[in-house]
Amino acid sequence: MSARSKARKRALDFLYEGDIKSTAASELFRVRGAAGLSQEPYVLVLLNGVAEHINKIDELIITYAQGWDMDRMPPIDRNILRIAIYEILWETGVDLQVACDEAVELAKSLSTDESSSYINGVLGRIIKLKDSIAI
């Protein structure tokens, strides 16, 4: 598993916990990871990026996750999508397909059987429309 894959998984852990506890994920990371911050810089990039763009990211999820309200969507799926959408739209050093594939792999290993294909579909639509999305 690559360092970035590990960072995505770790960021997902913090986003999921923050979502459940209604706490900022970056704050959870700072409290728990103070000693190892320098070893996991991409985790913080993801957490801060998602936090900075959360309104737009959630708007896109609501728009392209047809048939799902944010409240009804499993929290793990919602946060996998948040990370991937952040990477697709704002993280210039990440290949679009890699961001999508990593999200699908996280869904396959951590969520329901249907989640990976659903997440792939949502992200595929966002990738297709990326250039026309106002960010």
Name the residue among 55, 46, 56 with its Cα closest to residue 102: 46
Q: How does DSSP classify residue 110?
A: H
Q: What is the CATH number of the domain that holds 107?
A: 1.10.940.10
Residue 37 has pLDDT above 60, yes or no: no
Q: Is the pTM of this model over 0.85?
A: yes
Q: pLDDT tens-digit profile of 44-98? A: 999 999 999 999 999 999 998 877 777 788 999 999 999 999 999 999 999 999 9
No. of helices (H) and no. of strands (E), the chain:
7, 0
Look up the domain containing 28 and give its range: 3-132
Number of separate domains in the chain: 1
d(CA 89, CA 81): 12
Q: pLDDT tens-digit profile of 102-119? A: 999 999 999 998 999 999
pLDDT at 90: 97
Q: Phi and psi (nearest 5°) for 97? A: -70, -35
d(CA 103, CA 40): 19
Residue 33 has pLDDT above 70, yes or no: no
